[in-house]
Amino acid sequence: MDTYISQIGVTTGDVILEFSYLIAAIMFVIGLKFMSHPETARKGNIWAAVGMGLAMVTTLFLHRENGQTISLINGMVVVAAIVFGSILGIIIARRVKMTAMPQLVSLFNATGGGASALVALMEYSNPANESALVTLLGLVIGSIAFSGSMIAYGKLDGKVGDIFAKWTTYFNIFMLVVIAAVMVYMLAFDHDMATMTILSYILLVLALIYGVMFVMPIGGADMPVVISLLNSLTGIAAAMAGFIYHNQAMILGGIFVGSAGAILTLLMCKAMNRSLLNVIIGAFGGGGAGVDKEHGAVKEITLSDASVLLAYSQKVVIVPGYGLAVAQAQFVANELVQLLENKGVEVKFAIHPVAGRMPGHMNVLLAEADVPYTKLVEMDDINPDMPNTDVTVIIGANDVVNPAALDDPSSPIYGMPIINAHESKNIIVMKRGMGKGYAGIENFLFFDDKTRMLFGNAKDSLQKLVSEIKEL
């Protein structure tokens, strides 16, 4: 066997390396499968991480360039970078609050896109590089993913504002045309090394600018879709880097991330009843006011009345939103659920696909509080049961329960499927005040005759509510 391998120009190390990539790819698939369910998501992360670790180790020790493995000095530099990055990542991930998880996802996504862009930038002027088109695509896509993710991080963290202007759409189209023209010019004509380097840096700057302007006009209500789309772009850029280096592990990993992100993006667009193009150019969340119509007075509810109403109900539905995350109220919410269930009340959580600031934000938040996955019910499954619900408790959610999506054609969220909280028999809304949601429009559910407002910090209100129910 060894003789045959040597005759075809490969070594045993090459065979082991390729086989390790196959094992890594299988572990990626198993990891993705496990991550499709909250109860096995941690196991899925471990499988995928071990697969990536295997690919990294075998590449470091067995990959050959011009017949030579990596030098000792370069190997030590790579190992040092891996160790430093791993320690830094662990520290950041452990210290970050759940409310800042969307920002962390955007930041990590930016690093992936930036790394892929740097690979392409370094390799384009390499005479040995035979994948010019793939390299340029990796440079452009990686740069867009990097700068776009950094802007998404800034918007989510409140450091960057929105730019809502008609000219941004035309500017972005113009930038895409210019980027495409530069790429065609670079590919269609022969250039010396200096010219290739200059053009590649020009393309880098153009792509970075486009990434910034691509995300800037998009309103906060569309951030879950944007994060998912940028994640898909990072995966595609990583796959391009894999093609440059003929590295099957990078190609497969990038394809998995890119395709998963693309599928999730389309599913979330479907959940909002909008096309991806409309999300990108529609500037949803920019504060459209809808029609100016009369609304009644806000009616409040006391803690004692709320506790009685909940304790003597048969069915209660809790609709969590970003306010729940901000208040870190998920643990108290679970305590309330257990208390009500001990009194014979059926309690479920209604999960809207785009609630929060990233895909699956509410699922992750409630899983942290050990809320059983069986209690998390998707929008399409919970809506038919809403008319039979005695009390719907809305904790920090706004746009995902706004009836304007159903009955106000002038509203920017018109046509978006919502959780039909307005159909339940009673509604309790927990909010700090009467501020508008991330879409920037009035929610007339708060003025409904069946709605009662319980103002205050969600965590404090829930704790007091729990105490009141215990005393009944």
Catalytic residues: 399
| Burial of residue 161 (number of CB atoms within 10 Å: 0-12, 13-18, 19+) | exposed
Numbers of helices and strands, H then E, in the chain:
18, 8
Q: CA nearest 289: which of 392, 410, 377, 388?
A: 410
Gap between the Cα atoms of 135 and 143, Å rounded: 12
Gap between the Cα atoms of 92 and 316, Å rounded: 37
- Concatenate the DSSP letters of all residues of 393-404 into one string: EEES--GGG-TH
Are the C-beta atoms of 117 and 234 separated by less than 8 Å?
no
Residue 351, H or E segment: strand 346-351
Q: Which residue has the tokens 């190609």?
A: 251
Q: What angle do CA 165, 171, 173 make, to 5 degrees?
A: 120
Q: Within 13 Å, how many C-alpha atoms sit on residue 62's CB side?
A: 19
What are the b/e assignments for 339-378, b being 16+ CB within 10 Å?
A: bbeeeebebbbbbbbbbbbbbbbbbbbbbebebeeebbbe
